[in-house]
Structure 1
Amino acid sequence: MGIRVYNSLSRKKEDFEPIHPPKVGMYVCGPTVYMESHIGHGVGPVIFDTVKRYLTFRGYDVTMVINVTDVDDKIIERARKLNTTVEDLVRRVEADYMQNIRKLGVVNVDHFPRATECIPQIIELVQKLIDRGHAYEAGGDVYFDVSSFPTYGKLSGRSVEEMEAGARIAPREHKRHPADFALWKASKAGEPAWDSPWGKGRPGWHIECSAMSMHYIGEELDIHGGGLDLIFPHHENEVAQSEAATGKPFVKYWMHNGLMQLAGDKMSKSKGNLVTITELLSEHSAELIRFLLLSTHYRRPIDFGPERIAEVNRGLQAFYRFFERFERVTGEAVYDVTAKLIGEEKVADDAPGVEVLKEAQRMRDEFIRAMDDDFNTAAAVASLFESLPAVNRFMDERGLDQGARASEAEREALQGFMATLRALGALLGIFEKPAVEPEALDELTTARLREIAAALIEKAGASTSGQELVERLIERRAAARKQKDFKTADEIREKLHGAGILLEDRAGGTTWSRST
């Protein structure tokens, strides 16, 4: 039996059959880079990085694209608030995002296109929609005419009438219908702008993703991923404008991941309960956070908070204890064992270490069965957990960790199990290398950083970590340098140095480290 995928468009699981096998084109909506990356920004990249790992294992040739929205109303507004330029803001925030998702093991993305690098493709797509009668220019803006696309609403299940009932036309807008959405926006003075047939302006959010996905993958995508909160209006609008422009189905399989929630409540900026990835990684290993995100099926909400992290960490520690025991018994370092799946050939009942070898095969089969069923990483993780007791029992019964020396056959059986465990773990992006525990800033240093931040930025909340305070001060210093306020910039550097934090200015931004 092959892979089955839940398709948000059909609202059911379907056999996975790519458009042009073995090629698979996968596009995932990335961040709008106006604020530091929070844990929600890490969910999609980790999930779809895992999807690509598994599809590659199953023999597919996957091209994965995650976009970066680097021109948007939110970006312009925040740049003004920080008294910096849009370019400076987006590059710093983008660097933060890239650094953090790499730490989380997201290393399989083929392209990270920026919206501003695809302006010609966006303009071409907008013009095509106008030419086909699906869009119209009004006052320097260009809108998509939803009435021209009869199946508008098929992804979200909403009717145009329902959408228009909750929509309104702002004073400066020239829409024909309340549900029409902007493809191109005339820019105001001081805003980023590009020449176009409709005057100077910038792209709307929705058209960016259609243009970028078509440019890097093609007019038809096998998989389009993103959070549940993007189904409407973003993905609904992508469907409409893309299919109106090409006359082809835009996406074969829509995959939407559940959102982060804290104590059952959605995490969001408006609720003030977001945690940055930087802050999180100052307190926990990247492997633990990835393990947390994959311990829930991707379509379900992901519970987050100290209690859930502690619960997941207990499970992860069970593997680490097993790794230590393996090393004591076999004399071989876990990460020196080459990751390799055990073969499918039948293990003889009288073979040395038969229990361990059969357990490795059972674990492999259960893992693959789970991942074939809509990439069920939670069940895949469970299959790894469930194998530990049997192998621990094997060692207990032979006293292998209590003075008895393992035979060559027993060591080989344990090595075969570990090779399979590591190979399966690699498909999830875990157990690839020793986990690095963060070195959190001590309480005294954090207290000094709070004083510095209170004097130069704003009073920080009691839960704000020392690492987060450093990042905020670096951001404030960058804004000061942009304004040629070198006195403030130097003051921040000196005060951080006094607190034991060294700054290093590089081409890609400012990094920091503890002084020794």
Structure 2
Amino acid sequence: MPRTRESEMNLFLHETRAGKKIRFEPLEPEVVRMYVCGPTVYSRAHIGNARPPVVFDVLARVLRTAFSKVRYAANITDIDDKINAAARANGEDIADYAERFAAIYREDISALKVLPPDIEPRATHHIEPILAMITQLVSSDRAYEADGHVLFDVASDPSYGMLSNRTLDEMIDGARVEIAPYKRDPKDFVLWKPSDLDLPGWESPWGRGRPGWHIECSAMIREHFGSTIDIHGGGSDLLFPHHENELAQGRGIDGADYVRYWVHNGMLTVEKDKMSKSVGNVSAIRALLADHDGETLRYALLSGHHRQSLHWDLRLIHQARRSLDSLYGAVRHAQPDFSGSSLAFADRQWAEFPETVRRHLEDDLHTPRALATMHEIAGKIRRCDDKDQQRGLRDRLLAAGWLLGILQRSPEEYFQSGA
């Protein structure tokens, strides 16, 4: 019996709910379904917003080498009170404003060598599935209508809090929970809210309104993937309340957890504080790209393990630049007139990539160790006198580069760009 491609991979991911690394096995052989929460497009994305797309881009690249069908969705949130307020303040149509910043976001992460997801769902395009899911939750007594709102009844879900490991009493502190008189309990969260005529809104059984944030992702996942997905990713700042609420909504429909593996990346920090627009310590991707090459920024983001916080400063960026100089220099050393890049290795299968790099990426996507292995290969190229061996090592280096989304230009292009 022939080996299936996934049997060559021994991937372990740190699963948030379990609190430990678990071997990845998709629900359906050869098929992987992955959904990652994307940005709310009310302003320019900052470099902290880029960490999830870069991290999960690497995971998608890895999975595609071992599984014949990987369906990767990364949403854009285009219904949000922050978008409404920002568009009004700027005197723009709300839909046009959201689309403008969605386009900027796509351009920014493309400059960081992030491949487009297979699906980019948007809440405004999924109102019918959202309404259908809310209706089901109301019918099953998991949600209730009050004062033109529809709210999820947290008390109806005894498993609520298990993902973020919080008790019910711990959940109000630090969460975006609105204390409103129409709620049965302060922890109940909005599924549908009324909309004035000058705000985005759609007709519903509960009057004209718009969806709450949490129901958007749950409904889009069900629409594109059905009742179960293999991997749900996002930043650790989304763990509570967003992902906790998503999970509760899914249980309210199917009575079971609809995500097999929850995977979260850590935050970027600046002077020990989380990088955040509310704190005011952000660096916009577009502003960074004015002074630094996108590949350099990508390398910097991958230089720390994705689950850990990463201190962001100029020293990190400059070190990433020097590291890329070294790797591209090794490729050029093997063959000065070489015009290829890691793009040539896009169709390789998992077993064809360097074993040590594979082992590190199979260990919870340990990109720092994978990068260290690439530098070891680069060192061997410089110490080797045999041209054939040098070129073999160069190909190993470029193959690893494909998995990490770097070395995608020829050395000449890289050095001439002044990256």
Compute the TM-score of the two structures, normalised by the length of structure 1: 0.75
Structure 1 residue 334: Cα displacement: 4.3
Contact 1:49 1:106 survives alignment (8 Å): yes
RMSD of the TM alignment (CA)? 2.5
Deviations 1:430-471 (A, max 9, x none): 11224668989xxxxxxxxxxxxxxxxxxxxxxxxxxxxxxx
2:66 to 58, 83, 89: 58
1:281/1:189 Cα in 2 relative to 1: closer, same or farther (>3 Å)?
same
1:45/1:140 Cα in 2 relative to 1: closer, same or farther (>3 Å)?
same
Residue matched to 1:454:
none
Q: Partners in 2 of 1:172 and 1:154 — Cα distance?
A: 25
Q: Partners in 1 of 2:145 and 2:335 — Cα distance?
A: 68
Contact 2:12 2:24 survives alignment (8 Å): yes
- SS of match in other structure, 2:354: helix
Q: Partners in 2 of 1:117 and 1:333 — Cα distance?
A: 43
Q: Which moved more, 1:114-123 or 1:263-272?
A: 263-272
Q: How does 1:106-505 map to 2 (within 5 A)?
A: 106-164=114-172, 173-328=181-336, 331-335=337-341, 338-339=344-345, 364-395=354-385, 410-434=386-410
1:438/1:146 Cα in 2 relative to 1: closer, same or farther (>3 Å)?
farther
- SS of match in other structure, 2:110: helix
Contact 1:326 1:334 survives alignment (8 Å): no
Structure 1 residue 298: Cα displacement: 0.7
Residue matched to 2:4:
none
Structure 1 residue 171: Cα displacement: 7.2
Q: Partners in 1 of 2:344 and 2:387 — Cα distance?
A: 14
Structure 1 residue 163: Cα displacement: 2.2
Residue matched to 1:479:
none
- SS of match in other structure, 1:386: helix
1:182/1:438 Cα in 2 relative to 1: closer, same or farther (>3 Å)?
farther
- SS of match in other structure, 1:64: strand
Q: Which has the higher contact order (CA 8 A, sep 6+)?
A: 2
- SS of match in other structure, 2:384: helix
Q: Partners in 2 of 1:31 and 1:134 — Cα distance?
A: 28
Q: Which amino acid aligns with 2:405?
A: G
1:125/1:299 Cα in 2 relative to 1: closer, same or farther (>3 Å)?
same
1:35/1:188 Cα in 2 relative to 1: closer, same or farther (>3 Å)?
same
Q: Partners in 2 of 1:253 and 1:202 — Cα distance?
A: 30
1:9/1:322 Cα in 2 relative to 1: closer, same or farther (>3 Å)?
same
Structure 1 residue 172: Cα displacement: 5.5
Q: Which ranges in structure 2 are unaligned for 5 or more consecutive residues?
A: 1-8
Contact 2:176 2:241 survives alignment (8 Å): no
- SS of match in other structure, 1:196: coil
Contact 1:286 1:436 survives alignment (8 Å): no
Contact 1:169 1:175 survives alignment (8 Å): no
- SS of match in other structure, 1:127: helix
1:337/1:257 Cα in 2 relative to 1: closer, same or farther (>3 Å)?
closer
Q: Partners in 2 of 1:69 and 1:48 — Cα distance?
A: 18
Contact 2:334 2:387 survives alignment (8 Å): no
1:170/1:374 Cα in 2 relative to 1: closer, same or farther (>3 Å)?
closer
Q: Partners in 1 of 2:202 and 2:350 — Cα distance?
A: 59
Structure 1 residue 265: Cα displacement: 2.3
Q: Partners in 2 of 1:412 and 1:436 — Cα distance?
A: 24
1:323/1:427 Cα in 2 relative to 1: closer, same or farther (>3 Å)?
same
Q: Which amino acid aligns with 2:213?
A: W
Contact 1:187 1:201 survives alignment (8 Å): yes
1:117/1:341 Cα in 2 relative to 1: closer, same or farther (>3 Å)?
closer
Contact 1:341 1:424 survives alignment (8 Å): no
1:320/1:56 Cα in 2 relative to 1: closer, same or farther (>3 Å)?
same
- SS of match in other structure, 2:115: coil
Q: Partners in 1 of 2:60 and 2:19 — Cα distance?
A: 22
Structure 1 residue 281: Cα displacement: 0.9
1:250/1:344 Cα in 2 relative to 1: closer, same or farther (>3 Å)?
closer
Deviations 1:238-260 (A, max 9, x none): 00011111223211110000111
Residue matched to 1:398:
none
1:11 to 19, 24, 31: 19
1:156/1:334 Cα in 2 relative to 1: closer, same or farther (>3 Å)?
same
Deviations 1:64-116 (A, max 9, x none): 00111111111111111112121121011011011111121111410111100
1:341/1:367 Cα in 2 relative to 1: closer, same or farther (>3 Å)?
farther
1:178/1:337 Cα in 2 relative to 1: closer, same or farther (>3 Å)?
closer
Residue matched to 2:100:
92
Deviations 1:161-182 (A, max 9, x none): 2225778985755110010000
Percent of paired sites with the same residue: 40
Q: Partners in 1 of 2:219 and 2:252 — Cα distance?
A: 13
- SS of match in other structure, 1:25: strand
Q: Which amino acid aligns with 1:373?
A: D
Q: Partners in 2 of 1:266 and 1:164 — Cα distance?
A: 20
Contact 2:143 2:153 survives alignment (8 Å): yes
Q: Partners in 2 of 1:55 and 1:253 — Cα distance?
A: 14
1:162/1:106 Cα in 2 relative to 1: closer, same or farther (>3 Å)?
same
Contact 1:104 1:289 survives alignment (8 Å): yes
